[in-house]
Structure 1
Amino acid sequence: MTTGCKTTTLFLTVLSGLLLTILGLAQQWPVWAWPALAALLVVIPAAAFRAAARRHDQVPVIFEEQLTAAPIERQEQHVRHVALPSRWADYDFLISATVRWHALDTSDHAPVLNPAGLAVEAVLERARAITEQREPGRASLVQHELSGALSRMLPDSTGHLRTMAENVSLTLHPNDQERLDKLAGVRKDKAVWEHQRKYEQSRREYLGEDVLRDTGSAVVWWLAKNDDHVEKTVADLGLLAQLASAANNTDVPELLRDLIPRPRGEQDDSPERHDVPYEQLPTAADHITDALNAMGFPEGDPRRGMLAKQLAEIIRTQEQHETADAVLRRFDQQATYTADHTAPPGHSDGETGPLPRT
């Protein structure tokens, strides 16, 4: 019986004696019962100790099982920045770790060897089997994978050692990391450019093949864009016809040509306007002609030339010499035409030519 068991037995015996004493006093036991109680409290613990000792002698003790196993001697070796191949050529991982090992055969007949070299080789082979399948852009993720794979003691290929690694660190050469960052930036920029290009191409296809396929499609599109404002769409029919024709590289349909808005000079009924093509925009000379007509100075009135010359001089003060010359040329030709009743040779109304001098 162990010391703890003996202590427990004595404690329970004393506790039982106290309880029986209290009970006897409360019940007023006879005098003869007290000696019997004392004898019982002495006999019961003695019998328990004797029975425990007899049972202990019957159980054989194997001393070999009580011996503590001899501690396994583990040694370590530090490696730093050892290059391991990655999935990409010329992009190597750099591994640093603490390699630990213990010998499997420690007898006197064990071969003489360099356990540190074998242990480092075994750990690097295990690490290489993983890194050569991984891309270099995920060095931090591969580091954690290696930490788990190398954390177990496993036999090496020779069978002499069991090896593992701790404090595993995996990085890339700084120049390689910089190159990878640049490649990643280029790929992202290319993805954005491709997206923009496809977006612009889609818009062109939508406008050219759907919206501006013909004037009718353009009118329907313009109605939708202007919240079904019919009046505005009708006013813009000519512009829509021109736009659709230009998009398809064709002429404006004959039925829609009258709807095309023309320059103000084309709508003037004055004789000098009839030969001006409708594509030509009104010039300063055109505006002055309209103003003189509105002021009541008809063709042949000498005041037209005088006012035109004064206006030309005002225009010249604004450093617009070509415009001033065009105004003088227009009204000098009109004066000649009025006097001779013939246009100058090689000139029609509105054309430029040498400016006659008096």
Structure 2
Amino acid sequence: MIGSGRNTMTVFVTLLLGLLLVIAGVALQWPRWAWPVLAAVLVTAAVAVNRLVSRDRDGFPPHLAMEPDLPIPPAPRQEIRVSGVALPSAVADYDFLFSATVRWSLLESPDGAALINPSGLAVDAVLHRAREITAGQPPSRSALVQHRLAGALATMRPDSGERLLAMALDVSLCLPDPDLERLAKLSTVRKERDVWEHERNHERNKRDYLGDDVLKDTGSAVVWWLSRNEDRIEETVDRIGVLARLTAAANNDEVAPEFRHLVTPPLVPPQQDFDEQSPPGPETAQERHEEPPEAGPDHRMDDVFAWFGFGPHDPDLALFAEHLVQVAEAHGKTEAAAEIKYRFDGRMPENPAEAPPPKS
């Protein structure tokens, strides 16, 4: 078919050229000997055209003359699934479990390059990139780290040897259930410890405030009471003696000499034996008048509570007594603290040395 097309082109060019020469010869009235020359020229022209057409056709491969241009096929991509790979976290012994689909695409190999295992290189490249991210993340944030990994591994990047491009799809990251339970318990313990520390610091601050500030001396106690009862000045003056006794007890000391005249002298009970059948005589009564009986611990505590405005059935009396126990223990007044505990709890302290004296 290619030969017939070439011949057709040769005949067409020869006829066209001959027609032009005949018209030129008739118009110019060439002599008779010019016509044989004209025929020879036409034959030579036909041969030249045929060779020219044949050379142009032979320059293009015949097996591609009728075939269309095809697009270059893309480089093949391959993938492999990895599951349950342990990756380190920011806390020792708490590893993430990593799962993903690793996809890779081979790059052009240099001359003399060694043969490779594409799947192994691709998995190693992806795990290396994932390990750099998880090593600095807390194990309790596995869901957040999973989304971060999905974004970081979503692009094709070359491996260390630049033999292929690798990426990860369908990334999954989790923590084993036992580790999740341990982290939950540790979190609960930390929260409870923080609350306990705050409560203990609050209690310590209260003891320091009462012992080092309010009950540091009688003057501080009076100022503290007056700041809480600004409109009860006369009553504050009447309570100076009780405050002096309370300050002395909190500091394990005696009442200051300048306040002793404001303190009610204790009542001493009679310390004598007599016959039940014989009534006490005048001397006994006189001695009892000269040496009044000493008031017991309960009576002294009732005076202190009454001075602070607490009645025997006041609902806040037990709480106030508990604060007094804390103040006494903070200043080493174990005996006073034991008496107050025994007064309100009705039970002896665990340390026998702290037990209050028996009541007569």
Identity among equivalent pairs (%)? 51
Q: Distance in 2 between matches of 1:219 and 1:180?
A: 52
Q: Distance in 2 between matches of 1:282 and 1:167?
A: 78
1:227 alignment partner in structure 2: 230
Check the 8 A contact 2:143/2:173 in 1, yes or no: yes
Q: Distance in 1 between matches of 2:215 and 2:143?
A: 54
- The offset of 1:224, in angstroms, is 0.9
Q: Deviations over 1:218-256 (max 9, x none)?
A: 001001112341122123222211111111111012332
Q: Distance in 2 between matches of 1:117 and 1:80?
A: 14
Q: Distance in 1 between matches of 2:120 and 2:254?
A: 87
- The offset of 1:212, in angstroms, is 1.0
1:133 aligns with 2:149: no
1:279 aligns with 2:292: no
Return closer, same or farther for 1:241/1:72 CA change in 2, 3 Å cut-off. Answer: same
Structure 1: tracts of 5 or more residues without a match: 1-65, 284-350, 353-358
1:211 alignment partner in structure 2: 214
2:155 alignment partner in structure 1: 152
Q: Which aligned pairs between 1:119-268 and structure 2 lie closer than 5 A?
A: 119-261=122-264
Check the 8 A contact 1:101/1:164 in 2, yes or no: yes
Check the 8 A contact 1:265/1:273 in 2, yes or no: no
- The offset of 1:262, in angstroms, is 6.3
Check the 8 A contact 1:81/1:94 in 2, yes or no: yes
Q: Distance in 2 between matches of 1:115 and 1:157?
A: 13
Q: Deviations over 1:4-35 (max 9, x none)?
A: xxxxxxxxxxxxxxxxxxxxxxxxxxxxxxxx
Q: Distance in 2 between matches of 1:226 and 1:233?
A: 8
What TM-score, normalized to structure 2? 0.54
1:118 aligns with 2:121: yes
2:303 alignment partner in structure 1: none
Q: Distance in 1 between matches of 2:70 and 2:240?
A: 107
Letter in 1 for 2:155: R
Q: Deviations over 1:306-345 (max 9, x none)?
A: xxxxxxxxxxxxxxxxxxxxxxxxxxxxxxxxxxxxxxxx
Letter in 1 for 2:134: T
Q: Deviations over 1:142-198 (max 9, x none)?
A: 222211211110011232210011221211111111111111112212211221222
- The offset of 1:108, in angstroms, is 12
- The offset of 1:278, in angstroms, is 3.0
Check the 8 A contact 2:244/2:255 in 1, yes or no: yes
| Count of residue correspondences | 218
> Secondary structure, in 3 states, of the residue corresponding to 1:151?
coil
Letter in 1 for 2:105: H
Letter in 2 for 1:174: D
Return closer, same or farther for 1:198/1:115 CA change in 2, 3 Å cut-off. Answer: same
Q: Distance in 2 between matches of 1:85 and 1:255?
A: 73
Check the 8 A contact 2:266/2:293 in 1, yes or no: no
Pick from 85, 90, 109: which aligns with 2:88? 85
Structure 2: tracts of 5 or more residues without a match: 1-68, 270-284, 300-358
Letter in 2 for 1:175: P
Q: Distance in 2 between matches of 1:192 and 1:117?
A: 51
> Secondary structure, in 3 states, of the residue corresponding to 2:170?
strand
- The offset of 1:86, in angstroms, is 1.7
> Secondary structure, in 3 states, of the residue corresponding to 1:187?
helix
Check the 8 A contact 1:83/1:94 in 2, yes or no: yes
Shift >6 Å, 4+ stretches = 106-110, 262-266
Pick from 49, 58, 78: which aligns with 1:75? 78
Q: Deviations over 1:200-229 (max 9, x none)?
A: 222222111111111111001001112341
Letter in 1 for 2:294: Y
> Secondary structure, in 3 states, of the residue corresponding to 1:190?
helix
Q: Deviations over 1:120-151 (max 9, x none)?
A: 11111111122222222222222222112111
Return closer, same or farther for 1:245/1:281 CA change in 2, 3 Å cut-off. Answer: closer
Q: Distance in 1 between matches of 2:111 and 2:177?
A: 49
What TM-score, normalized to structure 1? 0.54
Tell me whether 273-282 or 136-145 shows the greater mean CA deviation. Answer: 273-282
